[in-house]
Amino acid sequence: MTTQQPPVAKTVPAERTHHGDTVVDEYAWLTDKEDPDTIAYLKAENEFTESATAHLAALRDTLFNEIKNRTQETDLSVPTRKGAHWYYTRTEEGKQYGIQCRRAVAPGETAPPATGEGAPLAGEEVLLDGNVLAGDSEFFALGTFDVSPDGTRLAYSTDFAGDERFTLRVKRLDTGEVLADEIPGVFYGSAWSTDGSTLFYLTVDDAWRPHKVWRHTVGTPSSEDVVVYEETDERFWVGVDLTRSEKFILIEAGSKITSEVRFIPADDPTAEPVLIAPRRHGVEYSVEHHGHRFLILHNDGAEDFALAYTSCDAPGGWTPLIEHTPGIRLTQVDAFSRHLVVALRRDGLTGLRVVPLDGGRDYDISFPEPIYTVGPDHNPEYDTATFRLGYTSLVQPDSIYDCELDTGNLVLRKQRPVLGGYDPAQYEQHREWALADDGTRVPISLICRKGTPRDGSAPCVIYGYGSYEASMDPWFSIARLSLVDRGVTFAVAHIRGGGEMGRAWYENGKMLAKRNTFTDFVACAEHLTKSGWTSADRLIARGGSAGGLLMGAVANLAPQAFAGIVAQVPFVDALNTILDPSLPLTVIEWEEWGNPLESADVYRYMKSYSPYENVTDVRYPAILAMTSLNDTRVLYHEPAKWVAKLRKVSPESDVLLKTEMGAGHGGPSGRYDSWKEEAFMAAWILDRLGKA
């Protein structure tokens, strides 16, 4: 361990007053990214963290090599058919980024070509090589990757900073020429016209809200591009997409609780957008095209959503197709020429239901494991009799299946290779239920080595998120095996604020019910200790982003319940951020957290749980906070301020801050760099658990 003293951030008192409450924020100066003192402080924290963890260097190398040696580095995804080509992604040993490819469909070929050991397919055409595009850049991310309906042009966008501001380009696929078309400052998402002459894309406002849909004619200067739709309500963001049928371009506008959709015929890209149904406060709907109708997945009088349809020619009233069933949350509908496939949630598990359109009986695609995650994969073809899905569990590696829709028969196309003799039979997965303070039963998913003792002696990592109706469904992780093989149990707390148990599960963990998210997590931690899975001095909590808010909140709420906390890009200065409408995404977030500017009740409630506001002089569990300088979703200053305050108010606590100086919200972009970051966190966890 280091003998170096931790950094001490300067204090510069800054007052703010809201609803009669005056607060002095001594570390508000850290919000200035251009201040040399800010960068100096972040670098000093990095140096301290490096010194404090230097004794773990060999373990980090070991863990990195375990991840690397279990991964088939040269690999190839299952090819997906679109039109006359199979599209797929390859990785090559020693290279950080994927290679986007395609191969022509051979005469009579119906099944995807075999991927073998990841070698290039015969007749392969490389569309984009991320390694070439990245060059020597420390960061690289691909945003849009969109092939025109006729397969002749590719729209793609790149980010070299991690701030998710992309530059859009167009490539001719017959010649490989990158055209002069270059559009900076775009957001994710695009849509082609039928003939590939016109491209629709998005830009953001100063608050990083996608608010404009633009129309670009290929071969013309971007200065001539036309705004097709602009969203002026700051609570709403926009998206653009081409329907699977390639008949319509959809423009979606949505807030956290309200939405509306417009359409443009893809063969008439200069036409004015037509509104399908006007926005009504609290009504959410999404649209899928099917033949003469638009399918509408909505929550109008249907908390867990229902499916209806309306005419494409004259959108109007909604005719019911699948009625609302409380407790069965419909999440997505995919329409094909002869079938619908509905993704749903029931009893804390995901599912897929096939609806034949020839009058046949509906059926659910079934799987043998008690805990798993299943969902749609890439299905770009409209006229098809097969449906591609992804399947995984805590013990089963990611698998790709093709479901024969007429029969329900599943054909395994590929399971993610795990090298080194991985045997799922050596592991167990369990579903437990914790009892929250108000009597609510909260599900927990666990994985451990077979034979792990239940006497409180086993170490454990408990992971949580609990916001935005995002579900932390069971997933397989090669990196996690390095912990589990050392005797660490891994648990996922499916707490309120997520979507695991339906829409009500989300509603009861947001706004003025947000504290349920935090108390649910503590209840899950206490359940694990009472049930003998672990003990408080052997339990590490982990979460990121809004899950990082969770980490900060439970550190204040129940510091005695954990031996350590890993908080990745943590949203720990929540109140100050949501009070500032000039910051990225703040206004959009008011329908998730409440508006503390207008409501004194919301202000007081948020202040009661915001981690930065509630740091006290207690001995906190060891904390590892990780952030990125260019993050636009949770700004770097939130964990920086939090750590500075923890150091001052609780100087006896063991707190580390690690800042990626050239990355964004997702951390390092290359796969090897990501593995190194995972090894860094795993080594810290094992050290806290006495397993280093």
**Spatial distance between the Cα atoms of 692 and 686, rounded to a whole number of angstroms:** 5
Least Cα distance to 566 among 419, 687, 664, 417 occurs for 687
The answer to whether 506 and 499 have CB atoms below 8 angstroms apart is yes
**pLDDT digit string, tens, across residues 656-670:** 999 999 888 888 889
Which two tokens mark 441? 């039963």
Least Cα distance to 127 among 106, 93, 105, 155 occurs for 155
How many residues make up the chain in this entry? 692
**pLDDT digit string, tens, across residues 233-244:** 999 999 999 999
The answer to whether 634 and 665 have CB atoms below 8 angstroms apart is yes
**Spatial distance between the Cα atoms of 305 and 315, rounded to a whole number of angstroms:** 20
**pLDDT digit string, tens, across residues 173-195:** 999 999 999 999 999 999 999 99
Predicted pLDDT of residue 115: 85
Look up residue 71 and give its DSSP letter.
B
The answer to whether 220 and 233 have CB atoms below 8 angstroms apart is no
Question: Does the annotation count 631 as an active-site position?
Answer: yes
Q: Quick check: 117 pLDDT over 80? A: no
Q: Which of 631, 637, 650, 653 is catalytic?
A: 631
Q: Is 457 helix (H, G, I), strand (E, B) or coil?
A: coil
**Spatial distance between the Cα atoms of 541 and 557, rounded to a whole number of angstroms:** 13
Q: Which of 393, 399, 445, 545 is catalytic?
A: 545
Predicted pLDDT of residue 2: 62
Average pLDDT of span 212-228? 97
Q: Quick check: 359 pLDDT over 90? A: no
Predicted pLDDT of residue 559: 98
**Spatial distance between the Cα atoms of 121 and 131, rounded to a whole number of angstroms:** 19
Average pLDDT of span 319-329? 97
Predicted pLDDT of residue 1: 57
Please state the three-class secondary structure of 607-652 as a single string: HHHCHHHHCCCCCCCEEEEEEECCCCCCCCHHHHHHHHHHHHHCCC
**Spatial distance between the Cα atoms of 52 and 5, rounded to a whole number of angstroms:** 10
**Spatial distance between the Cα atoms of 97 and 204, rounded to a whole number of angstroms:** 27
Predicted pLDDT of residue 692: 79
**Spatial distance between the Cα atoms of 539 and 690, rounded to a whole number of angstroms:** 11
**pLDDT digit string, tens, across residues 599-617:** 999 999 999 999 999 999 9
> Residue 26 — pLDDT band, cuts 50, 70, 90?
very high
Average pLDDT of span 502-522? 98
Q: What's at 282, amino acid-wise?
A: G
Predicted pLDDT of residue 664: 82
Predicted pLDDT of residue 3: 67
The answer to whether 364 and 374 have CB atoms below 8 angstroms apart is no
The answer to whether 460 and 540 have CB atoms below 8 angstroms apart is yes
pTM: 0.95
Strand partners, 253: 238, 260
Contacts of 485 (CB under 8 A, 6+ apart): 449
Least Cα distance to 67 among 569, 543, 682, 492 occurs for 682
Q: Quick check: 381 pLDDT over 60? A: yes
- The distance of Cα 359 from the centroid of its chain, to the nearest Å, equals 37
Rg (Cα) of the chain, in Å, rounded?
A: 25
> Residue 79 — pLDDT band, cuts 50, 70, 90?
very high
Of the chain, the end-to-end C-alpha distance in Å amounts to 13
**Spatial distance between the Cα atoms of 625 and 615, rounded to a whole number of angstroms:** 15
Q: Which of 190, 298, 665, 669 is catalytic?
A: 665
Q: Quick check: 122 pLDDT over 80? A: yes
Which two tokens mark 160? 């070299």
In the chain, the largest separation of any two C-alpha atoms, in whole Å, equals 75
The number of beta carbons lying within 10 Å of the beta carbon of residue 124 is 17
Sign, Cα dihedral of 424, 376, 197, 174: positive
Q: Quick check: 638 pLDDT over 70? A: yes
**pLDDT digit string, tens, across residues 232-291:** 999 999 999 999 999 999 999 999 999 999 999 999 999 999 999 999 999 999 999 999
Average pLDDT of span 483-501? 98
**pLDDT digit string, tens, across residues 346-357:** 999 999 999 999
Label residue 132 exposed, middle or buried (CB < 10 Å: 0-12, 13-18, 19+): exposed
Which two tokens mark 106? 């051979």
Mean pLDDT of the chain: 96
> Residue 116 — pLDDT band, cuts 50, 70, 90?
confident
| Phi, psi angles (nearest 5°) of residue 553 | -70, -45
Average pLDDT of span 63-71? 98
**Spatial distance between the Cα atoms of 28 and 637, rounded to a whole number of angstroms:** 8
Which two tokens mark 210? 């996608």
Average pLDDT of span 426-451? 97
Average pLDDT of span 460-488? 98
Q: Quick check: 10 pLDDT over 70? A: yes
- How many distinct helices (H) and strands (E) make up the chain? 12, 38
Question: Does the annotation count 545 as an active-site position?
Answer: yes
Q: What's at 153, amino acid-wise?
A: R
Least Cα distance to 514 among 549, 470, 473, 477 occurs for 549
**Spatial distance between the Cα atoms of 573 and 613, rounded to a whole number of angstroms:** 8
The number of beta carbons lying within 10 Å of the beta carbon of residue 73 is 15
Q: What's at 22, amino acid-wise?
A: T
